Structure 1
């Protein structure tokens, strides 16, 4: 029996977070990795694809590059797409959708190219191609090279499967995980968020401390692909056992609705025992008992919520209460507005790279222990 050939696996990241995701991938044994705009690539096999979806906290999606060929015109695209080994990757009973992009190629009409690829799929494999199918095949035609990729994740990976309740302008879990990593968080210290919203930072930190895999509670698109092996998948899911932690992860918010959402999200995530959420204003924050840890906060910013002028007072108060109460703790603040960050008066290290978030660029501002 011939050994399967490794193929390129691409981990998508929010622009600005590629290096942090590369570090996470290497830590989990993937690689060697190449950092590219918008993500990280490495070569591997299908079990690597499944494990990447299961264990990586910072990846937005996992794409599998399943093959490529050159095509100079539509007739050649049609002929080669019909010879492509679709059955090695796709099941005829699972519908899919096809997305094509063309760049710097003799084939420049994406609609016509889509038509040829869809015809090849339906006539050689017998698969139904629909616009709303969860499974997605992407064809990129660049410099006359046609590259096929499958989105193996389906739903974006920040949808862990437990966060039903979100407030306004929530931070995606994938971004939160990489910001925690950039602050040096490794699951061995407490984390506190004084403006926790729906609880993303404390819940993510509690999961890391307990060794819970981010993809443990959801379905992935690769489960409906031809190469999927349920026995290997079950073994991958049971490879890491959660463990107890004495640490506590705290979130506070002046909005009782946000606190209720955070509490419910933590319960669904299985970390209710190590998280604690309470309704209180920023001014009531006091240093918790026990060892110091990390304060992570994603405060409102003018571009996102309301009037920027009103926020200077809020950021000044945040800095004041942290300096007064959180001696020995490190601080990480995520904001789109460097002027607001500096208003805290905190002794920030050089800021991190701008990271794309919901049409904005946000930056991590962090300190050494206060």
Structure 2
């Protein structure tokens, strides 16, 4: 989602005179600015996973080179010795044999730096640290970052209940952006689960910043200015409640819809989203105008049809998608349909040709966002014809 993130960051930069967006890289976007711009991204970005502040970079050949880079950084100017720490490392094509040992050497460098300054050292807390330091290694260079976010940014601070495999909030926001959905366009999620796509869309419509109800690691840094942070949050302007939001959801499970309603309330959505308990292959257009269907189909029996619990999973999925494909062609003329799934055979089962497929990785799982454009009249029921036979004289 690098391109989608870069597009979003350019919109966030309109709120700042100093935030500059530079280039996309695999897995992220480079930008620069003042420390307040870092706060701004954490507050407003719906797509980013973390905001990392680059502290140092150098070439390396061994773990000791990385230790020397860590030990010479002025960590004491960024945070206090009383703050607890966690160190995380990711690597691509690094020649080092043990990332665990490399993590240990970065930790040693940070601790030795504090010990040399005042004789005491910070403590490590891997579960709920005050400060997170991130290291990234490629084949030749190491970069050290301060993680200004803390908890990953998909944790918006409102979710209490999830389904078996909830879609992460920042992924849902990215899917909405890539689908082209904007407030005012009808949106339907016919397999809404715990409601993540619906909630992200509703909060986008209201202009509620994703980070408004949570805390961040940058609040523990020495340069944090609580008054400036409060002013930044006070400047948030929430949009008025729309007369007709045109956001709709349904699911086969009544329990999931109950969970969705609770999550909508916790997320501060101030308007009702119509929710219906119905099988996805039975859906109809919720409004008399073209819109977007965006959904993440579930797996197992929640995908099924009532009364067919004895079918094998593959046969169940095949029957389900075939019926869904027929419904989409007959009942949703001129709609755009987006299915996010790890099952790359979905277009074949739907008997639809995708207009576009966008590759994603949902964690380690390779996925696709399939787009299908429903053409009016493409699958109308065949009309019976009457023929007359006459005797030939």
TM-score (norm 2): 0.80
Instruction: Give the conservation status (yes or no) of the 8 Å contact 1:254–1:280.
Output: yes
1:47 corresponding residue in structure 2: 36
Answering whether residue 181 of structure 2 is matched by residue 185 of structure 1, we say: yes
Query: What is the total number of aligned residue pairs between the two structures?
Result: 352
Answering whether residue 209 of structure 2 is matched by residue 213 of structure 1, we say: yes
Supply the distance in 1 between the matched residues of 2:4 and 2:59 (Cα, whole angstroms): 34
1:58 corresponding residue in structure 2: 47
Instruction: Give the conservation status (yes or no) of the 8 Å contact 1:194–1:285.
Output: yes
1:26 corresponding residue in structure 2: 10
Cα shift at 1:338: 2.6
Instruction: Give the conservation status (yes or no) of the 8 Å contact 1:334–1:362.
Output: yes
CA-based RMSD: 2.9
Q: 356, 359, 362: which is aligned to 2:364?
A: 359
Cα shift at 1:147: 2.9
Instruction: Specify the SS of the correspondent of 1:28.
Output: helix
Cα shift at 1:114: 3.3
Q: 120, 130, 134: which is aligned to 1:138?
A: 134
Cα shift at 1:295: 0.9
The correspondence of residues 53-132 of structure 1 with structure 2, limited to 5 A, is 53-68=42-57, 81-99=70-88, 103-104=94-95, 109-110=101-102, 111-124=104-117, 126-132=120-126
- Please say which of residues 88-97 and 210-219 is displaced more in the overlay: 88-97
The correspondence of residues 194-205 of structure 1 with structure 2, limited to 5 A, is 194-205=190-201
- Please say which of residues 266-275 and 256-265 is displaced more in the overlay: 266-275
2:335 corresponding residue in structure 1: 329
Supply the distance in 1 between the matched residues of 2:60 and 2:370 (Cα, whole angstroms): 47
Instruction: Give the conservation status (yes or no) of the 8 Å contact 1:199–1:265.
Output: yes
Cα deviation code 1:311-343 (max 9, x no counterpart): 111111222222222223221111112322332
Q: 167, 170, 175: which is aligned to 1:174?
A: 170
Supply the distance in 1 between the matched residues of 2:196 and 2:90 (Cα, whole angstroms): 35
- Please say which of residues 91-100 and 243-252 is displaced more in the overlay: 91-100
Supply the distance in 1 between the matched residues of 2:67 and 2:291 (Cα, whole angstroms): 59
Q: Give unpaired runs (5+ residues) of structure 2.
A: 14-18, 304-311, 376-393
Supply the distance in 1 between the matched residues of 2:229 and 2:322 (Cα, whole angstroms): 49
Q: Compared with structure 1, are the counterparts of its residues 63 and 358 closer, same or farther at alpha carbon in structure 2 (3 Å cutoff)?
A: same
Q: Compared with structure 1, are the counterparts of its residues 165 and 81 closer, same or farther at alpha carbon in structure 2 (3 Å cutoff)?
A: closer
Supply the distance in 2 between the matched residues of 1:250 and 1:128 (Cα, whole angstroms): 50
Cα shift at 1:348: 2.6
TM-score (norm 1): 0.85
Answering whether residue 291 of structure 2 is matched by residue 293 of structure 1, we say: yes
Supply the distance in 2 between the matched residues of 1:355 and 1:217 (Cα, whole angstroms): 28
1:278 corresponding residue in structure 2: 276
Cα shift at 1:193: 0.6
- Please say which of residues 150-159 and 360-369 is displaced more in the overlay: 360-369
Instruction: Specify the SS of the correspondent of 1:367.
Output: strand
Instruction: Give the conservation status (yes or no) of the 8 Å contact 1:98–1:129.
Output: no
Cα deviation code 1:46-86 (max 9, x no counterpart): 11111111111111111111234567777776666454222
Supply the distance in 2 between the matched residues of 1:361 and 1:76 (Cα, whole angstroms): 35
Supply the distance in 2 between the matched residues of 1:341 and 1:174 (Cα, whole angstroms): 25
- Please say which of residues 191-200 and 329-338 is displaced more in the overlay: 329-338
Cα shift at 1:203: 1.1
Instruction: Give the conservation status (yes or no) of the 8 Å contact 1:206–1:274.
Output: no
Instruction: Specify the SS of the correspondent of 2:274.
Output: strand
Q: Which structure has the bigger radius of gyration?
A: 2
Q: 15, 24, 27: which is aligned to 1:38?
A: 27
Supply the distance in 1 between the matched residues of 2:97 and 2:280 (Cα, whole angstroms): 59
Q: Compared with structure 1, are the counterparts of its residues 326 and 216 closer, same or farther at alpha carbon in structure 2 (3 Å cutoff)?
A: same
Cα shift at 1:290: 4.8
Instruction: Give the conservation status (yes or no) of the 8 Å contact 1:331–1:366.
Output: yes
Q: Give unpaired runs (5+ residues) of structure 1.
A: 1-16
Instruction: Give the conservation status (yes or no) of the 8 Å contact 2:342–2:368.
Output: yes
Instruction: Give the conservation status (yes or no) of the 8 Å contact 1:82–1:124.
Output: no
